[in-house]
Amino acid sequence: MFFILITGLLLGGTYALIAMGLNLQYGVARIMNLANGEMLVAGGFAAFWVYTAGQVSPIAALIVVAPVAFVVNWLIYRIMLRPLVKRAKSRGALEVDSILATFGLSFALVGIMSWMFGGGYFNYSYLAQRVDIFGSSYGQNRVVAFAIASLIAAGLWLWLSYTRAGLNMRAVAVSPDSARLVGIDVTAVSALAFGLGGAVTATGGALISMFFTLDASVGVLFTMKALIIVIMGGVGDIRGTIVAALILGIAETFVARIIDPGLTLAAAYVLFLGVLLFRPQGLFGKQPT
Amino acid sequence: MKRRSLMTTVAAVAVMMGSLGAASAQDAIKLGAAAPKTGPLAGGADVTHWPAVRLWVHQTNEAGGLQLADGPALIELIEYDDQTNPQQAIQAAQRLATQDRVDFMVAPYSTGLNLAAAPIFSQLGYPQITGTNVTNQQPELSAQFPGMFFVLGRTGVMAEDTAQVLVDLRESGDIGNRVALVNVADAFGIEMSGISRAVLEENGFEIVYQTSYPLGTQDIAPIIDGAKAANPDAFIAWSYPGDTFALTDQAIVQDFAPSVFFTAVATAFPSYYGRFGQQAEGVMGMGGVNPDDPAFQAFAEAHQELAGQGPDFWASASTYATLEILGQAIEATGSRDRAVVMEYLQDNSNSYETVLGPVQFNDMNDNERYWTVGQWQDGVFRGVAARGRDGVSDVVLKDGWD
Amino acid sequence: MSAREIRNLILSAMAFGVVALLPFYDTGYILSIATTMAMFTVLATSWALFSGPTHYISLATAAFFGLGTFVTGYGFQTMPYWSLPLIAGVLGAGLAGLVGMVTLRLSGVYFVIFTLGLAELVRQLVTWVQNRTGQRGMYVLTSITERDIYWQLLGMAALVFLVGWLIGRSRLGFALRIIGNDETVAKHSGINTALAKVLLFMVSGAAAAIVGAMLAPRYIYIEPSTAFAPILSFQVVIMALLGGTGRLWGPVAGVIPFTLLWEFISRHAPNQTLLLLGLAFLLIVYVLPGGVVGLQARLKHRFGQGGH
Amino acid sequence: MARVVLEVRNVTKRFGGLVAVNDMSFDVTQHEVLGIIGPNGSGKSTMINMISGTFPPSAGVIRLNGQDVAGKPAHRIAQMGVARTFQLVRLLPELTVIENVVAGAAFGHRRRWKGEAERYAQTLLDRVGLGGVMNVPVSSLTYINTKRVELARALACEPEVLLLDEWLAGLNPTELQTGIDLIRSLREDGRTVILVEHVMDAIRSLCDRCVVMSSGCKIAEGTPADVLSDAEVIRAYLGADEDA
């Protein structure tokens, strides 16, 4: 039982890494970023590259990966997505446009990555030793990734709750129009959120590359997971994303271990569809008025 | 790796420019190839398919091309990305045939894409010599598509031989009766697992744990935990690359070390040993080669040189062999006329010298001599079971991970 | 029926007639592209029948399409071939009805993600059932040629256009336009919005399932990962939006250029296909908002032909 | 005694812990114009929304011509004969003026389609004074004209009861007079109308009877003159003013 719980938590940590960035991007900047998974893979590739080329630990590599990802995503928002936001007449129109644009972007990113790195599988061995908790063994790399995921989650939550910039961000998340009325520069905040989201996602990718086998085309799998978790948790609420990620992790592990591993993904979708049906705004979302 | 892709791009551009330019080498034999460069199977094609194809073209041209009746002809390779999409595979084959007017085509990569492209190959009269297609439907397929040839082997045989390895080990008293059997839940995994189970049970093995997991699963901890709890003597996983790595990784982490540890696709990849190093010793997988065979050694060396990576120890060689067979058929007939070459290929009295050893097709266009099970021994993935091949090595028991 | 409608009807019938002659001209490359176009024409047009007026973006096309291919896969040996698309259509409509009843109260992005999740769920369940029953990948070995498939798809396209045209003239079509404009007003004007949406969703689900059933012989080898590939859903959405959903002919105006563009890029840049497709995609989004229909409307407006 | 068209009995609406409407009861008789008035947040709109079926009441009964409609979906209630306008005008932006009105005629209490619906819509547009602008897009209309279109759409349903939710709000003084005249003419047609309104002049001149709400409860009922001089009503309004 401990095994299921801990394995589930570790998996949930991984999922949180995948989804937290998208929550910021979708919740605050209102961009349904279908290129999220590609950004994650790019983070993983960066970590792989510094590890194999320079024997630099993927965790140390975060010092470079995160800021670079921030700048890249910030630029993507300012240059590519801002015009869409400007021209959108309604939130629905923006959703359609951003789905299309980021879908195109995801193609382009896969193209760039397979051009630069080839189409092959990427993996390496880092911290693959075992660590014993309550009599069962787990991969050190997963435990480390979980710890960092927790740090990021706690950091984000504290920042969003207790700083001026975080408050602005939450205000934009709740209502961009009202935020504008109280003098918040919505564009700047959205760009910041999008960049930050990208940085978190790339960080997740770098950590996940320690134990997942990646290739240039695999991003879409992560995008789907992230979408599910964000919607399940409630858009624009970081706690929701984390809770949803952990629930999903534990539920999948439970199904895989007790019922049938063949139903793992089916169970995830059933859970997700169930949440949507009975609580369409997500576990932590506000009831729309 | 980056440089390599860049170079191939430059080369491709150069070829394109060249073909746009004046004399597009009138006597070159055009060879078309459509296989994944993107999409879910791109990773596998990048290891197994593309380098082998390019290597054969490169070597053939280095050697002055193929000898036709009216003199030698170089090979011009035209590559397309089928995006791992059957729809695109069909269209790419059409395009190669009717727009680029290629003389011959390389068979696509993977079972599904080969089958999707089969009607087009057949309709247009191109021989389809497959090197990465494992199926049990040879009788039906060769009846429907008489130009389709099978080099890699039959699923049923692969599963039987894997079971046979266990039978042999049990008879020599090395392992007991308990087997854990898992599979990736797609057509390949389901078929292999079904046959293994039947054969193992026939032979009195006890399946103490059996399960499947969805395609794309990399969170495999619960499966290894379940398998470990069942305490088997042998662990057999009909897996794909991503999960092959994940299963091994988790087995190491949870210290699940049965005497036989078998994972399927990608176990034979050099990157498998690259990732797990010493820990991969004793792991078994599909395929295998005879690494002591000079023909294979030469192939591996040239592969390493051209592609910057070694071949995998299974289907790389069979992909390469499909082109050797095609080349030999062309040279034997001295013709680039597909109908003539096809007739030669369909004549089962002909045989071919390949990196796999001699190959001859039976009346179902099937090659009956191939490697079935391999095992990592001293950094090489040696064939430990085969049909009709020499140089089979002895199986060793896996002795823990550390 | 107005004179203009009669004229359009005759013109459309003539266009279909001409297009149907294509296999006599070429049965190779051009036919294979045309078959792809015909397939996406049916999928995108039927998608737009539902999504155009309601503004619901459905990513469930792959679920219905996959369902259809599996109907053919299971049934082609035991049942008369002509019955398979019908069965697929009924099952597709049934699944769509079921899903529609529970989900169409979700709006916007929730519906989008739900339909995406649905397609994946169906795929997982089919895979699991196959695995439990020891079912392998299915081989659909038939004597049906690409030409047959092409004609079937054309017939289906004609049917979808006819249905679309009839719906457009009917109360149901008008109701959907109202729903797309303002669902609250629609309800308070006496429109059973849920029923209207479910009906249309069923039409588009049935069409996608029928297309799947027709295309199965082209795939030969059917397995869930290709039959339910989510990329299909996205392609359909992109093509329909590129064309524009405001008019019945809109999606076709997206399907044709997009298929040609895809083919052109695949052919001329085999190593950068996805990169260029992605860029082309972005270009479309930025340069052609509202799709070809929107462009046409703007041109009309500019040259002053749009007077009422 | 005129026939009772709409009966509201002990209707309560709770949102979570908040009681928006508390045990309301009143009747609307045929050909009557009933005003519902009260300070902001007193539950008027919630009452209208329950009658038209936007959401169901938490408790109580609403009868239309003797049939219980409480909790029925909005489209059923519309078909049974309740039409409404909205506090913030809601037109169908992609449709022309006449199509907006046909939208009401095609699915409402008495259904009309095609030529019949269009002819009917035309007469209604003439009736509200928009005969000349039938085929223009609604985006080009002036504010009062959008209100007229919305009114025509509601009338096109041929409702048993017409609910006007602050239909006069936001009009300038000239427009207001036009608006009041228009509603008065409806009254003269013998329509049954429930009017939620803030404009006191309108209430005085249009309503046969008024129901006054405060904090979700009915605090007075009677002729406009009576209720507007009622001490409790005045207190409720002044109290609300203090809060505002």
C130, B80: Cβ pair inside 8 Å? Answer: no
Q: What pLDDT, on a 0 to 100 scale, did the predictor assign at position B377?
A: 95
CB distance from C187 to chain D under 8 Å? yes
From chain C residues 110-129, the ones with a CB under 8 A of any chain B CB are 124, 127-128
Tell which B residues from 58 to 117 touch A, by Cβ distance under 8 Å.
84
Q: What tokens does B82 get?
A: 């089928």
pLDDT digits (tens, 9 = 90+) for D35-56: 998 888 888 989 999 999 998 9
Q: What is the pLDDT, as a whole number, of residue C137?
A: 65
Chains that touch D (3 or more CB pairs under 8 A): C
Q: Are A47 and A58 in contact (CB under 8 A)?
A: yes
Question: According to the model, what pLDDT value does residue B56 have?
Answer: 97
* Percentage of the residues of chain B whose pLDDT score is greater than 70: 94
Residues D37 and D50 in one domain: yes
Q: At what angle do helices A91-117 and A219-233 cross, to 10 degrees?
A: 150
Weakly modelled stretches of chain C, pLDDT under 50: 305-308
Q: How far is residue A35 from each of residues A123, A206, C120, C251, measured CA to CA in Å?
A: 21, 16, 19, 25
For chain C, say whether B8 makes contact (Cβ under 8 Å).
Answer: yes
End-of-domain residue from the set D111, D139, D159: D159
Chain segment A190-212, per-residue pLDDT in tens: 999 999 999 999 999 999 999 88
ipTM entry: 0.81
Q: Which two tokens mark A196?
A: 């930050």
R_g over Cα of chain D: 18
Dump pLDDT digits (tens) for A111-135: 899 888 877 788 888 887 888 888 7
Determine how many CB atoms are found less than 10 A away from the CB of residue B7.
11
* pLDDT tens per residue across span B107-131: 999 888 898 889 889 988 999 999 9
Nearest to C128 among A99, A224, A262 (CB): A262
Residues recorded for chain B: 402
β-pair type (D217-222, D209-214): antiparallel
Task: Quote the CA–CA distance of C267 and B99 in Å, as a whole number.
Answer: 10
Superfamily of domain B2-8+26-154+292-371: Response regulator (3.40.50.2300)
Q: At what angle do helices C231-243 and A91-117 cross, to 10 degrees?
A: 120
Show the beta-strand stretches assigned E in B23-168: 29-35, 66-68, 71-73, 75-81, 104-106, 128-130, 148-150
> Token pair for residue D67?
């049939």
> pLDDT-based confidence at B9, cuts 50/70/90?
low
Residue-range domain boundaries for chain C: 3-229
**Of the candidates A117, A211, A218, which has its C-beta nearest B2's C-beta?**
A117
Contacts of B318 (CB under 8 A, 6+ apart): B131, B132, B151, B152, B356, B370
Chain A residues in contact with C121 (beta carbon < 8 A)? 266, 269-270, 273
Confidence class of residue B215 from pLDDT cuts 50, 70 and 90? Answer: confident
Q: Which residues of C touch A277 (CB under 8 A)?
A: 102-103, 106
Question: Residue A21 above 80 pLDDT?
Answer: yes
| pLDDT class of A264 with cuts at 50, 70, 90 | confident
Range(s) of the domain holding residue D125:
91-159
**Closest in B46, B211, B246 to A119, CB measured:** B46
In this structure, chain D runs to a length of 244
Could you report the per-residue pLDDT of C11-29, keeping only the tens digit for each?
A: 888 888 888 888 888 777 8
- Per residue in C82-114, pLDDT (tens digit) is 899 999 999 999 999 988 887 766 767 778 877
pLDDT for residue D1: 56
Residue A279 pLDDT exceeds 50: yes
Q: CA-to-CA distance for C254 and C252, rounded, in angstroms? A: 5
Q: Alpha carbon of C130 to those of B193, B194, B214, C218: distances in Å?
A: 12, 11, 12, 22
User: What is the token pair recorded at C99?
Assistant: 């899903």
Q: What is the mean pLDDT of residues A1-25?
A: 90
Tens digits of residue pLDDT in A200-253: 999 999 999 998 888 888 888 899 889 889 888 887 788 889 999 999 999 999
What are the chain A neighbours of B277 within 8 Å (beta carbons)? 125
Say which residue the tokens 């306008």 belong to: D85
Q: Provide the pLDDT for residue C113.
A: 78
Residue % of chain B over a pLDDT of 90: 68
Provide the number of structural domains found in chain D.
2
pLDDT band at B21 (very low <50, low <70, confident <90, very high): very low
What's the confidence (pLDDT) of residue C150? 93
For chain B, which chains pass the contact test of at least 3 CB pairs under 8 Å?
A, C
Does B131 contact A at CB distance below 8 Å? Answer: no
pLDDT of residue C111: 80
Lowest-confidence region among A72-76, A178-182, B51-55, B335-339: A178-182
Closest partner CB to C32 (pick from B12, B81, B91): B91
Q: Given this chain, do its domains B2-8+26-154+292-371 and B156-290+373-387 carry the same CATH topology?
A: yes
Low-confidence ranges of chain D (pLDDT < 70): 1, 238-244
Domain edge (last residue) among D127, D159, D191: D159
Longest dimension (CA), chain C: 65
Residue B25 pLDDT > 50, yes or no? no
Contact C131 B191 (CB under 8 A): no
Task: Examine the domain organization and report whether D14 and D54 are in the same domain.
Answer: yes
* Pick from D238, D234, D236, D195: nearest CA to D215: D236
Confidence check: pLDDT of B26 > 70: no
Superfamily of domain B156-290+373-387: Response regulator (3.40.50.2300)
D32/chain C closest Cα distance in angstroms: 22
Chain CA centroid to CA A89, Å? 28
Cβ contact (<8 Å) for B12 and C270?
yes
pLDDT given at position C71: 92
pLDDT value, residue A263: 86
